[in-house]
Chain A
Amino acid sequence: VTGEKHLPHLKAARSSAARFLKVLRKCEPAINSQVLILDLLEDGFGEHPFYHCLIAEVPKEGQTGSSCTVGYAMYYFTYDPWIGKLLYLEDFYVMEPYRGLGIGSEILKRLSQIAIKTNCSCMHFLVVIWNKPSIEYYVRRGALDLSTEEGWHLFRFDKENLLRMASGE
């Protein structure tokens, strides 16, 4: 990004990226933040974002105008030629001391509004099967387990296999 005219956007992007990085560090401390800083800026807040995020903040007690991040959602869009666009929720997290206050519900509500506004036919997300509390949380809100009901299994090819396939071996 070069040129004076890009600076305001870059400042806003840097500020948003910094806030996202801050919530990630709080919620997912194992992530290597040194690698993420540059990737996050480019991949989430540049001209062609790979992902979008919502950040939940609460006012800091006794400090007017100040807030602290307590949760986030990271999502992107996928596509099915038979049903069109889908919103795919990749990360959804509320810090433990702030659970049970409706913050997660509010995030899901905003995500649902975004999905409808962007013409998505549905929202997909992954949950580990033995995470019963999470599954109950989603099922209560109308989610359907497609892996159990329809047999959908997630397959992954790691970097090594990607490189091998890309070379045509």
Chain B
Amino acid sequence: MALVPSHSAAPPPRCATPVPPPFPHPWGGSLGPDECLSFPCPVLREDGFGARPQYECYLAELPPGQTNKEGGSVVGYVLFTYTYSTWKGRNLYMDNLYVQPQFRGQKIGKRLIEKAAQAAVSKGCGQLRMHVANWKAKDKDFLARQGGEDLTAKEGWTLFNLDEDALRRLAAQSTI
């Protein structure tokens, strides 16, 4: 099992394929060349591997010759961004951590989060934060075993969202 930074060689990685990081679909399977849910793959490629990368990611890949049941070699990934706190300085925010179900229980998730932690330490970050769905007990247990604290349960921190419609309404308000 290799953990490759998706931009370890000259970006973009594996430029022969039609989509960059073929992110394993969190609901099973891998996204094919024409599938990208509602978000355009060329944007994903440019945002991660263009002139100004907006995220970093590491992929968990099977050794050459081995494939998952979809015929691909990527079985998991971690994607993160660098964030900030006026109290604590640099932080790392883990936007996504995913391992295909058939490859769980092999410490792949642990190695992926360790990669994120190494990136955090090398950038001088003091914290790593991520959101996880409360109803995913196994995911929460995994994070707790690695030393994660549930700040929503412990301190009441609640995530709020202003969606695109709300943003457009706020942006169009008259000036004071």
Tell me the complex Cα distance, A109–B143, Å: 36
Tell me the complex Cα distance, A112–B163, Å: 10
Instruction: State whether B38 touches A83 (Cβ < 8 A).
Output: yes
Interface: B74 (CB within 8 A): no
Instruction: State whether A79 touches B81 (Cβ < 8 A).
Output: yes
Interface: A103 (CB within 8 A): yes
Question: SS class of chain B's interface: helix, strand, loop or mixed?
Answer: mixed
B-facing residues in A119-161 (Cβ within 8 Å):
120-130, 135, 138, 141-148, 150-161
Instruction: State whether A124 touches B159 (Cβ < 8 A).
Output: yes
Instruction: State whether B133 touches A150 (Cβ < 8 A).
Output: yes
Interface bin, chain B: 35 or more
What A residues does B54 contact at CB under 8 A? 77, 79, 85
What A residues does B131 contact at CB under 8 A? 152-155
Interface: B44 (CB within 8 A): yes
Instruction: State whether A128 touches B158 (Cβ < 8 A).
Output: yes
Minimum CB–CB distance for B24 against chain A, Å: 11
Interface: B60 (CB within 8 A): no
Interface: A55 (CB within 8 A): no
Instruction: State whether B160 touches A144 (Cβ < 8 A).
Output: yes
Instruction: State whether B127 touches A156 (Cβ < 8 A).
Output: yes
Given contacts A76-B83, A84-B43, A124-B161, contact A116 B167 (CB under 8 A): yes
Interface: B16 (CB within 8 A): no
What B residues does A74 contact at CB under 8 A? 84, 86
Interface: A166 (CB within 8 A): yes
A sample of 7 inter-chain contacts (CB < 8 A) reads: A43-B89, A84-B44, A90-B86, A113-B171, A143-B162, A157-B129, A168-B114
